[in-house]
Structure 1
Amino acid sequence: MEHSPVYQTHRGHDHPHNHDHGHSHGPSDNHNHHGHSHGIGGHHAPNNKKGLTIALLITASIMILEFAGGLWTNSLALLSDSGHMLSDAGALVLSLMALWFAVRPPAPNKTYGYYRFEILAALFNGATLFVIAGFIIWEAYHRLWNPPTVSSGSMIAIACIGLLANLASAWALLRQGDVKDNINVRSAYLHVLGDALGSVGAIVAGVLMLAFSWYVADPIISVVVALLILKSAWGVIRQAIHILMEGTPATVDCAQVKKALLQIEGVREVHDFHVWTITSGLDSLSCHIVIDEPSDSQTVLQQAIHIVEQQFRIMHTTIQVETPALQHGDMKV
């Protein structure tokens, strides 16, 4: 079965490809596969790596400072924040590893390459936030009944340094990285914001203890920060699971996509329709389009590709064009 050449856009360059895909739906099978656009809006660009590297160096330095300071001042808020920073340092390392893995070429047994490693990294980062928050709440519970004396003045000074460092890390990620659309970088960014919240909490607790000798403020503030961390972590975990479950991207309305395809002249039906996310910024679509017998399949296919790309920004499509006479078994999904 021969196919007319279609053009594959690969990182901004057009390359003609002749596709011959063996989906066995009978001898009259007319399967057309549109080329994939693997340029993913720069979400693997060096700026992400630079932002993550800067944030990692700052986080690791302040983690050591806050851990030593927490031991010196006997502050749970500082110790919990340093523990959170340890988790963050690991998360940033994992995020950098994910960017490195993602640009590796596909292998015969991994035809999508390693893009999904970013999603796994984001899921792991979100899970570690839950563990850290749980530890903070557990330790705070014990300290509520017998709050220890804390060197609040030194605690405030160290927490202020930590806050400035966290804000610098967050700025580096915002400035250099794709915090909005890349779930991996965003999960690292949320870790850094969680650190900043921890530092703010430590400062507030330090001021209360310095002014009123209210040492119970240390565990109370720690719990408040932990709950805020949990809220952010749950958002990352939920999105990562949604992607791993092949959920429809939040930016795509499947009903609108089908409606647009059905408006193409000669298209009778759209079925076996799926839209999912491979990794941040790379959505995919596959479907079968049933056309009237006189319609030209290549013309319909080209129009469908154009609509999906231009109206819905989905660059990775697999569209099978078929006539009503084609018979194949019902799909399970």
Structure 2
Amino acid sequence: MDHSHGRDSDRHAGHGHDVSVDADRRWLTITLGLILAYLVGEVAVGLLAHSLALLSDAAHMLTDAAAIILALAALRVAARPAGGAYTFGLRRVEILSAQVNGLTLLLLAGWLTFEAIGRLVTPGDVAGGPVLGVALVGVAVNLAATWAMSRANRASLNIDGAFQHILNDLYAFVATIVAGVVVLVTGWGRADTIASLVVVALMLKAGAGLLHASGRIFLEAAPDGLDPDDIGAAMACRPGVSEVHDLHIWQITSGEPALSAHVLVHPEADCHAVRVGVHAWLRDNHHIDHTTLQVDHLSAEAHRTPAQSDPHCAAPHGTTHYAATDPC
């Protein structure tokens, strides 16, 4: 039997990952500086102009700054090596960060909705000129911030969470510009409130998406695009393989799929050669490099049909794939 763990290529991946993390930190820090520099002025003008749209933008930008700080902290913590009880290290801290970012978007959307309903019932006087001017500057700042964030690795759910905050803020400023023009031309103050509700809808969409994606990782769901049944059936068709069961596919963190399985091979097959072949096939065809394969010989008297019990696992779970029955 062979209980080997296929992880060869990871020994050569550390340096490139460190370079990527350093670059991500640099772009996140640049974005944070842009946002903080603009935030103070926007709050002051929003209070003077009595603009809910500007104040909602400022509140959102405050969460942007918090999201980036959280993402930076998560990058640092996740870089710590595995050890002790944390055998995978602390890389899932990045997913916690993404989940917090998604939750803050939803909570902020709820607060802004409450404020907007009050403003729709009793609209205040909104100074369209300052609103428009600050929003135009805000678009420029957020375009620069969005460009900087786009240079970071958005395959990371942690960084994408911070990026969604920045992108939604850009949408908010565009809506605020429209509201400022309407207020200047028509004097209709409720346009400012309606602009904030447009931003709320975008926040809800982005926040729900982040919670859904991070929740799938915490619940050990297979990554999008990797169907366990299809992969299990194809593994059972590999040379020498008789059966595949107890197959699990999950993500350690975003962009790091992992797989474990119990593989039974024909009595005359070479367990080690089969494991190496299956690992290479998973890496080359599905980009799964972190694989743990328990490979055992199927004894000559143990041939069975899918309806028979499995003597190898006391409590098997998941679909069992047989070379004799699955289409190859």
TM-score calculated relative to the size of structure 2: 0.89
Partners of 1:190 and 1:219 lie apart in 2 by 22
| 2:65 aligned residue | 89
Partners of 1:212 and 1:226 lie apart in 2 by 24
Q: Tell me the CA shift for residue 30 of structure 1.
A: 3.9
Amino acid at match of 1:327: H
Partners of 2:226 and 2:234 lie apart in 1 by 13
Partners of 1:240 and 1:252 lie apart in 2 by 17
Matches within 5 A, 1:304-319: 304-319=278-293
| 1:102 aligned residue | 78
1:299 has 2:284 as partner: no
- CA displacement, residues 25-63 of structure 1 (integer Å, 9 cap, x when unaligned): xxxx64222226543874852221111111111111222
Relative distance call for 1:188 and 1:36 in structure 2 (3 A) is farther
Partners of 2:68 and 2:260 lie apart in 1 by 34
Partners of 1:127 and 1:327 lie apart in 2 by 43
Matched-pair identity in %: 37
Partners of 1:110 and 1:329 lie apart in 2 by 27
Matches within 5 A, 1:244-255: 244-255=218-229
**RMSD, aligned CA:** 1.6
- CA displacement, residues 103-155 of structure 1 (integer Å, 9 cap, x when unaligned): 10112110000100000000000000011111111101001111111111011
1:329 has 2:301 as partner: no
| 161, 171, 175: which one aligns with 1:201 | 175
1:127 has 2:90 as partner: no
1:174 has 2:141 as partner: no
- Structure 2's unaligned 5+ residue stretches are 300-310, 319-328
- CA displacement, residues 194-224 of structure 1 (integer Å, 9 cap, x when unaligned): 1111111111111100000000111111111
Q: Tell me the CA shift for residue 332 of structure 1.
A: 5.0
Partners of 1:30 and 1:286 lie apart in 2 by 13
Are 2:135 and 2:174, in contact at CA under 8 Å, matched by a contact in 1? yes
- CA displacement, residues 278-307 of structure 1 (integer Å, 9 cap, x when unaligned): 112211000011111111101101101110
| 115, 120, 142: which one aligns with 2:118 | 142
Amino acid at match of 2:4: N
Partners of 1:130 and 1:36 lie apart in 2 by 42
1:31 has 2:3 as partner: yes
1:266 has 2:251 as partner: no
Instruction: Decide which structure has greater helix share.
Output: 2
- CA displacement, residues 164-213 of structure 1 (integer Å, 9 cap, x when unaligned): 111111100112x012x111111111100111111111111111000000
Are 1:36 and 1:317, in contact at CA under 8 Å, matched by a contact in 2? no
1:286 has 2:260 as partner: yes
TM-score calculated relative to the size of structure 1: 0.87
- Structure 1's unaligned 5+ residue stretches are 1-28
SS at match of 1:270: strand
Are 2:135 and 2:173, in contact at CA under 8 Å, matched by a contact in 1? yes
Q: Tell me the CA shift for residue 324 of structure 1.
A: 2.6
| 1:77 aligned residue | 53
Relative distance call for 1:190 and 1:238 in structure 2 (3 A) is same
| 2:139 aligned residue | 163
SS at match of 1:287: strand
SS at match of 2:6: coil
Partners of 2:57 and 2:135 lie apart in 1 by 9
Partners of 1:35 and 1:107 lie apart in 2 by 17
1:52 has 2:28 as partner: yes
Q: Tell me the CA shift for residue 259 of structure 1.
A: 2.9
Partners of 1:64 and 1:132 lie apart in 2 by 19
Moved more, 231-240 or 45-54: 45-54
Partners of 1:120 and 1:298 lie apart in 2 by 38
Give the count of matched residue pairs: 303
1:213 has 2:216 as partner: no
Are 1:104 and 1:113, in contact at CA under 8 Å, matched by a contact in 2? yes
Amino acid at match of 1:240: S
| 2:231 aligned residue | 257
Partners of 2:128 and 2:209 lie apart in 1 by 34
SS at match of 2:252: strand
Moved over 3 A (4+): 36-44, 325-328
